[in-house]
Amino acid sequence: MLYVVAWPLLAEADDTALRRLRAQYHRREADLIGPHFTLVFDAPLSEEARLRAALAGLADRRPFWFVLDRLVRHDMAPPARAAWLFAVPADGAAELIDLHATLNPEPGGEGFEPHITLGLFERAAEAEHLARMVERQHLPIHGRVEELALLRRDDDGLDTVASVRLSA
């Protein structure tokens, strides 16, 4: 499967905090990839040429700032009691949505909300409790997106297939 991600540049303390949260609450993915915004999710390998070309076409875009200013809990459908916890940007969201639309010409079933995944919790109440603590201690988080990458996932992990620096 293929993915396109936007790499956030963060202050060291913010990067460390997000990595620690992911290591504790998103163990399955934390060792594979650090904090990121996913712009293309689970694309088939047959899309690689199209995604490489689309990514190359974004080099003339400007880098942009973002602010993670709130956490959003997404509850799984019953009977599951699990919930995802996401850090969601206010500033910078429009740019991420535009990149997503450019890279995904076929509209998907759900709307796109840019986010950095912090974790998956067995119970929604656990996610809500952590959200309150993180909001008090760590938000807002300011960062900048200057680079996008096309990643290939296989049994051995993630490999960077192509990347582009935003430079306009």
pLDDT at res. 28: 86
For residue 76, what are the domain limits?
2-165
Tell me the mean pLDDT in the region 92-106: 93
CATH for 158: 3.90.1140.10
pLDDT range class, residue 78, cuts 50, 70, 90: confident
Q: Which residues contact 135 (CB under 8 A, 6 or more apart)?
A: 70, 71
pLDDT range class, residue 10, cuts 50, 70, 90: very high
What span, in angstroms and rounded, lies between the C-alpha atoms of 60 and 40? Answer: 19
β-strand partners of 74:
84
Structure letter (DSSP) for residue 23: H
What span, in angstroms and rounded, lies between the C-alpha atoms of 94 and 113? Answer: 10
Tell me the mean pLDDT in the region 44-71: 96
Tell me how many domains the chain contains.
1
Mean pLDDT (the chain) is: 93
pLDDT at res. 116: 97
> Looking at 18-140, which runs of residues are DSSP E strands?
37-43, 64-75, 83-89, 116-121
pLDDT at res. 155: 82
The residue type at 104: N
What span, in angstroms and rounded, lies between the C-alpha atoms of 16 and 25? Answer: 14
